[in-house]
Amino acid sequence: MLKGKTALVTGSTSGIGLGIALTLAKQGANVVLNGFGAFEAARDEVAAAGVKVGYHGADMSKPGEIAEMIEYAKKDFDGVDILVNNAGIQHVANVEDFPVEKWDAIIAINLTSAFHTTRLALPGMKARNWGRVINVASAHGLVASAQKSAYVASKHGIVGFTKAVALETATTGITVNAICPGWVLTPLVQKQIDDRAARESIPVEQANRELLQEKQPSLQFVTPQQLGELAVFLSSPAADQIRGVAWNVDGGWVAQ
Ligand code: NAD
């Protein structure tokens, strides 16, 4: 279904981004990966779908590097058709103890990077009159939790950004939407589970159970593949008129 399209997925060397990149590739999309750490395994896994795969290591907190990444996609892939703004980080602390540099990094990576990728990718999408911008927000884009002020602010921010750009592109073939996952068992969440186990001196399995019980009524993690399938649907013609939504995939988290 996505043969001939190119998807750029930020933060796709692990977790949700990798899951979305893989699922889009299985539908035929060429993929530009991004993120820190070893990227070779991710690249090989996505390439096994038989599509063209590239990688750019731009730091999403650096506007100049983001511009270089979009240039790379233009030069080597003929532009970006599906932009998935996924890179994100977390830090947990009360607001009065929140390290200033952590606040700045979270806002830069989780929110401002999407402004830069979107503003740079949109002209090419407009020229082709087709595009998909899919912002990976969070249940924390819709509701809050204590000790996550920067994350919650960044995720509410990206939901607002999604709506504004969806309106600006409403008469075009470009749609802009957000996905709002609940808990997904990735390195970002594993760290929170490990921290809880250490803090409460409980086994990791118990910390895992408690984390789900607190927020996610289904008591099951969302999977990166399920989020990938939603990205595929949002990229399909059936979703042409889905614009500016913040779609929660959260085991019932925000229904409470
Ligand atoms: P993860 O830690 O597994 O992956 C994050 C990815 O972002 C990695 O590829 C990492 O290298 C990359 N990254 C981090 N900082 C970067 C930077 N400065 N520049 C470029 N890449 C950078 O995390 P994840 O859980 O897969 O999270 C992905 C997205 O999903 C994030 O935006 C996160 O907020 C969101 N999310 C996660 C969950 C969850 O439960 N895991 C829930 C809701 C939303």
Is 151 among the residues known to form the active site?
Answer: yes
**Tally of CB atoms within 10 A around 236:** 14
Looking at residue 188, what is its pLDDT? 85
36 lines ligand 1 (CB under 6 A): yes
Looking at residue 244, what is its pLDDT? 98
Task: Tell me the torsion sign for CA atoms 219, 225, 227, 230.
Answer: negative
- Closest residue (by CA) to atom 32 of ligand 1? 88
Looking at residue 146, what is its pLDDT? 98
Q: What is the mean pLDDT of residues 175-190?
A: 96
248 lines ligand 1 (CB under 6 A): no
> pLDDT-derived band of residue 81, with 50, 70 and 90 as boundaries?
very high
Contact 215, 183 (CB under 8 A): yes
CA dihedral 20, 25, 28, 32 (to 10 degrees): 100
Q: How big is the chain, counted in residues?
A: 256
CATH of domain 6-182+223-248: 3.40.50.720
Residue 152 has pLDDT above 90, yes or no: yes
Residue 232 has pLDDT above 90, yes or no: yes
3-state helix, strand and coil shares in percent for the chain, rounded to the nearest 5: 50, 15, 35
> What is the Cα–Cα distance from 135 to 100, expressed in whole angstroms?
25
Q: What is the mean pLDDT of residues 70-91?
A: 98
Q: What is the mean pLDDT of residues 42-71?
A: 98
> What is the Cα–Cα distance from 83 to 85, expressed in whole angstroms?
6
> What is the Cα–Cα distance from 80 to 78, expressed in whole angstroms?
7
Residue 90 has pLDDT above 90, yes or no: yes
Q: Kindly report the average pLDDT of the chain as a whole number.
A: 97
Tokens at 187, concatenated: 């390195």
Global pTM value: 0.98
Angle at 222 between CA 206 and CA 27, to 5 degrees: 150
Q: What is the pLDDT of residues 11-42, one digit of tens each?
A: 999 999 999 999 999 999 999 999 999 999 99
> pLDDT-derived band of residue 176, with 50, 70 and 90 as boundaries?
very high
The atom number, within ligand 1, closest to the CA of 151 reads 34
The atom number, within ligand 1, closest to the CA of 183 reads 40
Among 151, 183, 221, 253, the one annotated catalytic:
151
ipTM of model:
0.99
Per-residue buried b or exposed e for 195-210, using 16+ beta carbons within 10 Å of the residue's own CB: ebbeeeeeeeeebbee
Q: What is the pLDDT of residues 186-203, one digit of tens each?
A: 988 999 999 999 999 999
Q: What is the mean pLDDT of residues 3-8?
A: 98
Domain extents in the chain = 6-182+223-248, 184-221
> pLDDT-derived band of residue 50, with 50, 70 and 90 as boundaries?
very high
Q: What is the pLDDT of residues 126-146, one digit of tens each?
A: 999 999 999 999 999 999 999
